[in-house]
Amino acid sequence: MVQRLLVKDSLLRNLKSGLTAILLTSLVLAGCSSGSKDNTPDAKPNEAGKGTSTAIGSSYPLNTTESITSWEILNMNAVTFYSNLAETPFGKALADKTGVQVEYIHPNDQQTAEQFNLMIASDELPDVIEYDWTGRSAGSYPGGPEKAIQDGVILELNELIDQYAPNLKKKLEADPTLDQMVKTDSGKYYVFPMIRNPSGLVFRGPMIRQDWLDELGLPVPTTIEEWEKTLIAFRDEKGAKAPLSVTYTGGNFEIRDAFIGAYRTSNSFYVDDEGKVKYGPIDPQYKDFLALFRKWFAEGLFDKDFALTDTKALDNKILTGQTGATVHLLSGGMGKWMDAMKGQDPKFKLVGAPYPTLLKDEVPFIGQRDFKYNPGPSKAITTAAKNPELIVRWLDYAYSDEGAMLYNFGIEGESYAMENGAPVYTDLIKNNEKYSLQQMVSQYSKPNGPYEADERRNWNTFPEQDEAVKVWAKTDAEKHTLPGFLTPTAEESKELGKILTEVSNYKEEMFVKFIVGKEPMESYDKYVEQIKKLGIERAVEIYQSALDRYNSR
């Protein structure tokens, strides 16, 4: 009897585990949310700091004993040294200068999205949250900033910025493009933005082994034809098993728009010369791109295992000389690999190659170019904030001249010194024996966060990196990239979500099949037909209207 009971229990457990595993998220959500849910809507914030006098003052350090809580990622490099931003030299200096004590809550780097969701669901909000609120990508707040404000999660900042953030206000007024990006269609501000510096906008592109090229007497390839010749040489003369390889992670082909741009289309939505939104993967030209990679794959010019290549595998291929060309990041790729090979193979050298085109001297149709506004490391103030004025003043410090120096370069005399009126990193940062510049910088300044990145700041370790940025920047990407801060309405978002999930799944699957040769090129028309059936035209329509609204912001 007891045994039967036990068996029964374990059966139940097995049954349940099926259900509970799927509902795991809801389980935790359920536990946390049931009680606290009902009292939120009326817990409206103190409207724009009402009731708090201006006793804090407007000059730093502020006159306060209150502390605030901030949820934000701790920079990966800083984790090497400290477990909390408050303990870093930067955190201490910031507290000193602003007079505000901050309790930082750091989510686990790997599970930021999950932890963000749990936090929102449990309604235990800190005062400030540094996160992507745009709703433009998986992981950011679903429905976007308007929805977040309407849901009562974060505050609309228009009045607060008007009253208490003179430094940010100045920047927004001086830069209409930035202003257009950081507000919603209805003109609401929702974050203190991270503003990239102009040289920080381009950070990804094709790169190639310069030492191999020199050995073979080849120039850096610019056209598709030259690329093919180069890759053949890599295969035949250098014995590269995967002459061209890129990462493929989470259903994402990281070649992005390189090579595809040569055919005047894109791997996703883009804006054509007439300002109309288009979906690249169903363009007739896209077929030519697929045919090219199909050919390269068959001939062994393109990695035979490309769909299995994650970052680690790519590292391995590059460092062992199986791959001579890739499309990857400036410092997370180029810098990292050159650094790793410094001791082993002094000849090893990567250079940035221009985005390939079909004809010589053509300007690449599209490339990688990000926006001035970087929503990820931008901070919103939640409805839980008791003293929004204090928080706004604290955040606004980063946009002041003094704050900008701290956020960008750290502490004068310690991490940087002024030479001829320009900040220069000290030897402590630049020439540290044990740690890289990025690691050192992460302790003394904030690599990412809501402030304006300084033009004079440069974290590149190799001159080839500076060169690569210049090469990669020469594209028409700005004209053809769909602005990242479109805000479809809540209704549209829902519809869009459904369509895009199905479309991108289908597209990705067919993409790989076309390249490895499992699907005949003749079925391209059928594939386009199917994507249309899944509703791509409606998605394009939604993006078009969102773009129109964006342009008229």
Partner 1 sequence: MAKIPPPTRTSIPSKPSNSAGLNPRNWGLLKDISKNRFLYIMLIPVLLYFAVFHYFPMYGASIAFKEFSPRLGIIGSPWAGWEHFESFFNGIYFWRVVKNTLLISFYELLFGFPAPIILALLLNEVRKAAFKRTVQTITYMPHFISLVVVCGIIKEFTMSDGLINDILAFLGWERVSLLLESEYFRTLFVTSGIWQNIGWGTIIYLAALAGIDQEQYEAAKIDGANRWRQMLNVTLPGIMPTIIILFILEIGRLMNVGSEKVILLYNPSIYDTADVISSYVYRVGLQEFNYSFSSAVGLFNSAINFTLVIGSNWLSRRMNKTSLW
Residue with tokens 């994650």: 310
- Answer yes or no whether residue 14 interacts with partner 1 by CB under 8 A: yes
Q: Which is nearer to partner 1, 25 or 58 (CB)?
A: 25
- Answer yes or no whether residue 518 interacts with partner 1 by CB under 8 A: yes
> How many of the chain's residues bind partner 1 (CB under 8 A)?
60
Cβ of residue 530: shortest distance to partner 1, in angstroms? Answer: 8
Strand bridging mode 422-425 / 192-195? unpaired
Q: Which of 393, 357, 439, 5 is nearest to 164 (CA)?
A: 393
Cβ of residue 314: shortest distance to partner 1, in angstroms? Answer: 13
Contact 263, 286 (CB under 8 A): yes
Contact 371, 201 (CB under 8 A): yes
For residues 100 and 393, give the distance between their C-alpha atoms in angstroms, rounded to a whole number.
10
- Per CB under 8 A, which of residues 324..353 are in contact with partner 1? none
Site string for partner 1, 273-292 (x = CB under 8 A): --------------------
Which of 534, 539, 542, 546 is close enough to bind partner 1 by CB under 8 A? 534
- Per CB under 8 A, which of residues 404..463 are in contact with partner 1? none
Tell me how far apart the terminal alpha carbons of the chain are, to the nearest angstrom.
73
- Answer yes or no whether residue 321 interacts with partner 1 by CB under 8 A: no
- Answer yes or no whether residue 59 interacts with partner 1 by CB under 8 A: no
Q: Which is nearer to partner 1, 46 or 117 (CB)?
A: 117
- Answer yes or no whether residue 108 interacts with partner 1 by CB under 8 A: no
For residues 234 and 325, give the distance between their C-alpha atoms in angstroms, rounded to a whole number.
9
- Answer yes or no whether residue 29 interacts with partner 1 by CB under 8 A: yes
- Answer yes or no whether residue 239 interacts with partner 1 by CB under 8 A: no
- Answer yes or no whether residue 304 interacts with partner 1 by CB under 8 A: yes
- Answer yes or no whether residue 232 interacts with partner 1 by CB under 8 A: no
- Answer yes or no whether residue 509 interacts with partner 1 by CB under 8 A: yes
What backbone torsions phi and psi does residue 352 show, to the nearest 5 degrees?
-75, 135
Contact 482, 131 (CB under 8 A): no
All residues at 6 or more sequence positions from 533 whose CB lies less than 8 Å from its CB, including other chains: none
Dihedral of alpha carbons 424, 428, 434, 439, sign: negative
Which of 81, 295, 506, 553 is close enough to bind partner 1 by CB under 8 A? 506
Which of 54, 83, 111, 505 is close enough to bind partner 1 by CB under 8 A? 505
- Answer yes or no whether residue 307 interacts with partner 1 by CB under 8 A: yes
Q: Which is nearer to partner 1, 12 or 418 (CB)?
A: 12
Q: Which of 199, 112, 184 is nearest to 144 (CA)?
A: 184
133 Ramachandran zone, left/alpha/beta (phi>0; psi -120 to 50):
alpha
- Answer yes or no whether residue 311 interacts with partner 1 by CB under 8 A: no
Choices 146-154, 411-419, 437-445, 455-463; region in contact with partner 1 by CB under 8 A: 146-154
Q: Which is nearer to partner 1, 159 or 502 (CB)?
A: 502
Choices 102-110, 247-255, 417-425, 481-489; region in contact with partner 1 by CB under 8 A: 247-255
How many CB atoms neighbour CB 516 within 10 A? 16
Which of 220, 502, 523, 549 is close enough to bind partner 1 by CB under 8 A? 502
Q: Which is nearer to partner 1, 24 or 359 (CB)?
A: 24
- Answer yes or no whether residue 138 interacts with partner 1 by CB under 8 A: yes
Cβ of residue 369: shortest distance to partner 1, in angstroms? Answer: 26
- Answer yes or no whether residue 37 interacts with partner 1 by CB under 8 A: yes
Which of 363, 428, 516, 540 is close enough to bind partner 1 by CB under 8 A? 516
Contact 47, 160 (CB under 8 A): no
- Answer yes or no whether residue 520 interacts with partner 1 by CB under 8 A: no
Helix (H, G, I), strand (E, B) or coil at 251: coil
Contact 530, 499 (CB under 8 A): no
Cβ of residue 161: shortest distance to partner 1, in angstroms? Answer: 24
All residues at 6 or more sequence positions from 211 whose CB lies less than 8 Å from its CB, including other chains: 347, 348, 349
Which of 58, 432, 501, 551 is close enough to bind partner 1 by CB under 8 A? 501
Alpha helices in 140-239 (DSSP H): 144-150, 158-164, 166-174, 176-182, 210-216, 224-237
For residues 382 and 377, give the distance between their C-alpha atoms in angstroms, rounded to a whole number.
15
Choices 1-9, 155-163, 231-239, 425-433; region in contact with partner 1 by CB under 8 A: 1-9
Q: Which is nearer to partner 1, 2 or 55 (CB)?
A: 2
Q: Which is nearer to partner 1, 4 or 360 (CB)?
A: 4
Cβ of residue 113: shortest distance to partner 1, in angstroms? Answer: 8
How many CB atoms neighbour CB 15 within 10 A? 10
Cβ of residue 77: shortest distance to partner 1, in angstroms? Answer: 25
- Per CB under 8 A, which of residues 167..226 are in contact with partner 1? none
Helix (H, G, I), strand (E, B) or coil at 233: helix
Q: Tell me the C-alpha to C-alpha distance, in Å, between residue 365 and each of 81, 264, 292, 471, 474.
A: 43, 5, 17, 14, 10
Residue with tokens 């390939």: 356
For residues 305 and 204, give the distance between their C-alpha atoms in angstroms, rounded to a whole number.
22
Judged by the rule CB under 8 A, the positions of this chain that interact with partner 1 are 4, 7-16, 18-23, 25-27, 29-31, 33-34, 37-38, 117, 120-121, 123, 138-139, 142, 151-153, 241, 248, 250-251, 304-305, 307-308, 497-498, 501-502, 505-506, 508-509, 511-513, 516, 518, 530, 534
